[in-house]
A and B are shown apart, each in its own frame.
Chain A
Amino acid sequence: MSGDSFTFTIDGVEIPATKGQTIMEAADAAGIYIPRLCDVEGLRHQGGCRVCTVKAGGRSAAACTQPAAPDLVVDNETDHLNTMRRHLVEMLFQEGNHLCPVCEASGNCELQAMAYRLEMVEPFRFPGLEPCRPVDASHPDIALDTNRCISCGRCIRASADVDGKGIFGYVGRGIHRRVAVNGSDLAHTDADINDHAVSKQVCPVGCIIRKREGFSIPIGEREYDHGLIGDEGDSE
């Protein structure tokens, strides 16, 4: 083990890491928060949302997929990076219908929380795409509102890797790529309310809705209502 462990720095702080760890895994273990949307504990990394972009040795790289290296100098909380992250989150908002006041996930939503963290305080300067996608409420326990989807792929990975089912998958190309279910609708898949893919921590937004659980925690007392995302940990 001793031969495989080394240190590198994030924002000047020395971080221990072992061979094969990504920058984000090492940062999480050391209690340093790197913003992320498509990455969640327990699923393999995708590197799709690019919100975790850091400067690793002067080059931009996704911290969730970039392996840590000995003596690597990583910049995380810089104005430049946070501006780029804010742009990425703005673009996600513009690609979907993210109406926080009427959304059941408000307060539990990682996208909303990330917007607050990255100080996305200005109104959008460009009109959004305003997609109009049907809501799939066919399943007795689960509803799917893909208008709120940010295509993070967390449900896809959870369903394929953890549940071994492959209920969700990407369809389409480019801007038209979105998440679809493996069947005519959700009722015609083997989706179950106890799947990891439909558990609360997988969908970062309010796309996968667990029926009859809405507003069990009132708005104002939810996960990200008490502070910025990433600050609930030990230190920043």
Chain B
Amino acid sequence: MQKIRAGQGKQADLDYIREYSATIMETSRCGLGHTSPNPILSTLKNFPLLYSAMLKGGADRTQPTFDIQDAIEEARSIAQRRSYIFDRDFTQ
């Protein structure tokens, strides 16, 4: 949920939540466990637009949650120069 609220979620995460919820509901011993995923499931069911607005896209086989700027930030600081490819305003 934190991941989705931070805007880092993708569609597969929602499917995963549903899978886990089904497991919890089926394997629980008592009624609390049988019903515990219901709050999340009912929001998934009733507010699909809100969820889809929070998700990252990614139909072109890219990994939607991968942030290239974030990933090369450390290398930038070590090399003490900007990226030729990923920094558009690069000048030697």
Q: Count the A residues whose beta carbon is within 8 Å of the partner chain — how many?
A: 14
| A140 shortest CB reach to chain B, Å | 38
* Chain B 51-89 interface residues, beta-carbon cutoff 8 Å to A: none
Neighbouring A residues of B29 by C-beta, 8 Å: 47-48, 50, 62
The answer, yes or no, to whether A91 is at the interface (CB within 8 Å) is yes
Contact A88 B12 (CB under 8 A): no
Using known A-B contacts A50-B28, A62-B29, determine if residue A126 contacts B23 with beta carbons closer than 8 Å: no
Q: Which residues of A contact B12 (CB under 8 A)?
A: 125
What residues on A are CB-neighbors of B28 within 8 Å? 50
Q: Give the size category of B's interface with A.
A: 10 to 19
The 8 closest A-B pairs by CB, nearest first: A87-B23, A50-B27, A84-B23, A53-B27, A60-B26, A125-B16, A84-B27, A87-B20
A residues engaging B (CB < 8 A)? 47-48, 50, 53, 60, 62, 83-84, 87-88, 91, 125-127
Given A60-B26, A60-B27, 7 more pairs with CB closer than 8 A: A48-B29, A53-B27, A83-B23, A84-B26, A84-B27, A87-B23, A125-B16
